[in-house]
Amino acid sequence: MAIVKMKRLTLLAMRKDREKLLKLMQRMQCVEITQLPQEHEELRARETAGQQKEQAALERIRWALQKLSRYDTQPKPAFGQYPVVPEEESLRVMQSRSELEDIITRLEEIERRSGETRALETRIKTARDQYIPWEVFTPTAGELSASRSVLQMAGSLPTRNLPKLEEALSTLPALTRIISQTQDNSNIYVVIHNSALEEGRAALETAGFAQENFTPLQGKNVKDYLHSLNEQEAGIAVQRKELEDESKALASYIGDLKILHDMLTLEVRKHSALLESAETCQTFLLQGWVPEEASLPLKDMLLKASPSAIVSLEDPKEDEEPTILLKNGPFVTAFEPVVEGFAMPSYRGIDPTAVMAPFYVCLFGMMLSDAGYGLMMALALLAFVKIKKIPVRNAKMLYLLIFGGISTIIWGLAFNTVVGFNPLPRFSRFFPLDAVNDPMPVMAVCLAIGAIHLFTGLGVAAYMNIKRGDPVAAFSDQFSWFLLLVGLGLLVLPATAAIGKYMAIVGFVIILLMTGRDKKNPFKRLLSGLGALYGITSWVSDLLSYMRLFGMGLATGVIGMVFNILIGMVWSGGIIGKVIAIVLFIVCHLFNLGINALGAYVHSCRLQYIEFFGKFYEDGGKPFRPLDMQTRYVSIQQASAE
């Protein structure tokens, strides 16, 4: 249970030292700069043109890296394993910034030209699609309009109307020729003598004739025009290859662009922090939160960098809510994502991770409940984090799954389930839990673990009340429920029924009389107590929620057994059957592991969030976000900012 204590930092220093002090705080990564009180609003720093320019430059670099990403052969950083860039290298990149910006300009020009070629390609494709049906049509646009005694036209009409058109033109001095035809559309050439223009045009209009425009062919016939389109397309392919080669040649700058990107990211982040400060012509003021253990070293460093500065460190006031930083040991740290996924605790509340972690890993193992799956998951993930040398804080979820895998091994042995098999039938007395053939003991274990989990939450709530100097609340709101619920449970057994009855009565009376202890009216006080006693139904539903442990564990085992039975049938089909069976065994059990591990994770979280946290948890905190050196591509080393 470790919510780090915070100190309120107030820094007043000369404006000429601002850049140096901010760089120091960024390097130490222990200060979250916060907004100043309203009375300093008129003096708040404003965004400058220089800051806007840096942000725009950063956006251009991101765009360039995205365009060059297909040529990037460098491994992607993961889990905090960033390539380390010495300070000398980062300074070299910053000095060559103008050259790198010229590279981006060249890339932008390549993109512009690529866009033009794509647009031209689209126009060529559209033109080809339009005129390919007319490829065998030899007259040009000029030749169609050259005759004075007849009207020549080419166009299209619905195929279903073609017979009617031919019938209508058969009595006129006119002729038609089909150029190309599909089921829905026909392209035709029509010649009508001037003496029958009116009747011919009427017949064409009735048939839905649409005249084709050959003007874009610029005096060529269709075949020659299509040939010219093909030549243009070939030229475009050559241009595209040249542009591709130009882009590929710029890929050698990817490394420098990544460094520049991260250097500017740190600068932009530092300038963003400046917007929360106040300034005059000579001085600047900022406030923030700093962990108590880092506050004195930070103060010494700030005063060393700027002896004239005034640094104040104060405890948070009652009406202040510092941001939340959790600090736990290696095992507990792995389970912090469960808490962070729900909501950060309030500063004056409690970090439940240490209490929750053993329960979470136990519940996860019970729901996955196959020793083979647990062994595979634990060994694979453990090998990965050890080979990559990933610390717990950089890959909490992986370590959570490793611990969950270890728990799954233990519970899988208890259920005598290994990859869907029951390998130890002769020693079944050492493995008493059998969810398939004897489910009642398994259900009892699930309910017992659920009861312990719920009572632990009740105990944490009592601890919080006692810690705050309110033992009456711990006695009235938590101890009373413990008496009532345990007493009701003891009533089930004849040997403990007598003591259970008295415990339940005492708990009942305390809840009835003390729940509304803040009310002076005795009638309202009793009503509050009766309303609280109705809450016993929620305790019953909470306890029954733990039956999901039985259901999830049973599902994992049964699905695994069914897979094994089906694969066993395939195995008996000779050599080919055995090969297929091996592949099916791997695929099916990996699927079963994946889907049930996901279910175990989700339902374990659900039991923490609803049943456990519901008994005591006080949320509302905001995570600690210090001015830091976190980057996207590389880890930049910086010298001491003195």
User: How confident is the model over 326-340, as pLDDT tens digits?
Assistant: 999 989 999 999 999
Q: Are both 485 and 343 inside the same structural domain? A: yes
Q: What is the pLDDT of residues 449-495, one digit of tens each?
A: 999 999 999 999 999 999 888 898 888 888 888 888 888 888 887 88
The answer to whether residue 55 sits within a structural domain is: no
* Minimum mean pLDDT range among 373-387, 424-438, 587-601: 424-438
Q: Are both 337 and 471 inside the same structural domain? A: yes
Q: Are both 193 and 336 inside the same structural domain? A: no
Give me the domain span that covers residue 159.
141-213
Q: Are both 411 and 540 inside the same structural domain? A: yes
Torsion of CA 455, 362, 354, 400, to 10 degrees: -150
Identify the band that residue 39 occupies on the pLDDT scale cut at 50, 70 and 90.
low
**What would the two tokens of residue 5 be?**
């204590």
Mean pLDDT value of segment 191-210:
91
- The amino acid sitting at 322 is P
Q: Are both 380 and 506 inside the same structural domain? A: yes
The answer to whether residue 503 sits within a structural domain is: yes
**What would the two tokens of residue 220 be?**
């060529």
Helices (H), 250-291: 254-274
Does the pLDDT of residue 512 top 90, yes or no?
Answer: no
The answer to whether residue 557 sits within a structural domain is: yes
Measured at the CA of 603, the angle between CA 363 and CA 396, to 5 degrees, comes to 75
Contact 370, 556 (CB under 8 A): yes
Beta pairing class for 635-636 and 84-85: parallel
Which of the listed residues 213, 230, 260 is the one where a domain comes to its end?
A: 213
Contact 253, 134 (CB under 8 A): no
Does the pLDDT of residue 426 top 60, yes or no?
Answer: no
Which of the listed residues 184, 213, 242 is the one where a domain comes to its end?
A: 213
The answer to whether residue 554 sits within a structural domain is: yes
Identify the band that residue 21 occupies on the pLDDT scale cut at 50, 70 and 90.
very high
What's the total number of domains in the chain? 2
Beta bridge partners, 7, equal 290
Q: What is the pLDDT of residues 623-639, one digit of tens each?
A: 999 998 888 898 887 65
Contact 54, 62 (CB under 8 A): no
**What would the two tokens of residue 253 be?**
């700058």
Contact 515, 476 (CB under 8 A): yes
The answer to whether residue 241 sits within a structural domain is: no
The answer to whether residue 545 sits within a structural domain is: yes
The answer to whether residue 204 sits within a structural domain is: yes
The answer to whether residue 130 sits within a structural domain is: no
Q: Closest by alpha carbon to 450, among 570, 548, 352?
A: 548
Supply the CATH number for residue 157's domain.
3.30.70.2750
Beta bridge partners, 187, equal 156, 180
* Residue 578 to residue 537: CA distance in whole angstroms: 54
